[in-house]
């Protein structure tokens, strides 16, 4: 049984989301709707949701203010938003889900499916992810965001500059670090390419994403050598793009 609490100050938006869940999510569920975020904390204490679907932009108390007020919890959170680029970036860095309004049915189904899978993780992991989100939102710029890597062994947090490279393995991504053993995460390389695109990472191959900070040189054989002694093959299609990125990087040093 999924116990879902929708918190949205716009009654029409909350009702539409409730109807979409009732119609398109076949799992057993109980849904409650709250249009006043200031009353939501009390409702949470009584209703005890397993999933909170939380609007970000609300007057007097936004979604993040509500989470700060609650302090600690054991439920999952999916954010809903019309569009807030900085907030969405912080959410994605924290391995949390969000839905853009108007809500797409497929996106909704995928987000609920991920929530069901997340039940396998200890509740404190969700708290750590949201704590990281709130911390990221207090940063003055995105370069200080910490990336949450949610694994079966626990949640790990890294700044982008600590990551040497990423390697895609089907629907998984393996992270390589300067002073840390590799970590395997159940998300695709394409997802991380989108998340890290503003943090000086190069897509050198369909299976490789590299932090420019750790690149030594690209040799004549098309091997990209890194400062940790490793090397990867640059695809022919990506070679010109990689050379341009490295030249631009040299000019800005």
Q: Taking the domains of the chain in order of start, what are their residue ranges?
A: 2-137, 159-251
Highest mean pLDDT among 15-19, 116-120, 196-200: 15-19
- Rounded distance, CA 141 to CA 126, Å? 24
Question: What confidence tens digit (pLDDT) does each residue in 141-167 have?
Answer: 888 999 999 888 889 999 999 999 999
CATH of 2-137, one of 3.40.50.80, 1.10.10.10, 3.40.50.2300, 3.90.1170.50: 3.40.50.2300
φ, ψ for residue 100, nearest 5 deg: -85, 140
pLDDT band at 77 (very low <50, low <70, confident <90, very high): very high
CATH of 159-251, one of 2.40.50.1020, 2.40.50.140, 3.40.309.10, 1.10.760.10: 2.40.50.1020
Arithmetic mean of pLDDT, 41-69: 93
Arithmetic mean of pLDDT, 62-83: 89
Say which residue, 24 or 119, is predicted with more confidence.
24
Contacts of residue 219, Cβ cutoff 8 Å, sequence gap at least 6? 225
Best CA proximity match to 163, nearest among 147, 152, 150, 151? 147
Share above pLDDT 70 across residues of the chain, in percent, rounded to a whole number? 96
Note the pLDDT of residue 253: 55
Question: What confidence tens digit (pLDDT) does each residue in 191-232 have?
Answer: 999 999 889 999 999 999 999 999 999 998 889 999 999 999
List the Cα angle 104/106/109 in 5-degree steps. Answer: 110
- Rounded distance, CA 237 to CA 103, Å? 36
């Amino acid at each position: 049984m999924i116990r879902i609490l929708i918190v949205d100050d716009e009654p029409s938006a909350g009702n539409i989301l409730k109807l979409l869940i009732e119609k398109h999510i076949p799992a057993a569920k109980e849904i409650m709707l709250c249009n006043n975020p200031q009353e939501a904390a009390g409702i949470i204490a009584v209703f005890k949701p397993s999933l909170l679907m939380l609007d970000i932009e609300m007057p007097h108390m936004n979604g993040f203010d509500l989470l700060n007020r609650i302090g600690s919890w054991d439920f999952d959170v999916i954010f809903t938003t019309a569009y807030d680029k900085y907030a969405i970036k912080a959410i994605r860095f924290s391995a949390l889900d969000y839905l853009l309004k108007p809500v797409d049915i497929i996106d909704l189904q995928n987000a609920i499916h991920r929530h069901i899978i997340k039940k396998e993780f200890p509740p404190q992991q969700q708290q750590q992810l949201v704590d990281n989100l709130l911390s990221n939102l207090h940063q003055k710029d995105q370069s200080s965001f910490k990336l949450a890597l949610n694994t079966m062994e626990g949640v790990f947090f890294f700044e982008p500059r600590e990551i040497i490279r990423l390697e895609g393995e089907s629907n998984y991504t393996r992270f390589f670090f300067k002073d840390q053993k590799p970590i395997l995460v159940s998300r695709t390389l394409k997802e991380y390419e989108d998340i890290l695109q503003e943090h000086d990472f190069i897509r050198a191959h369909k299976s490789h994403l590299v932090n420019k900070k750790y690149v030594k040189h690209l040799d004549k054989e098309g091997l990209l050598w890194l400062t940790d002694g490793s090397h990867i093959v640059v695809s022919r299609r990506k070679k010109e793009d990689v050379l341009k990125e490295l030249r631009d990087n040299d000019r800005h040093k």
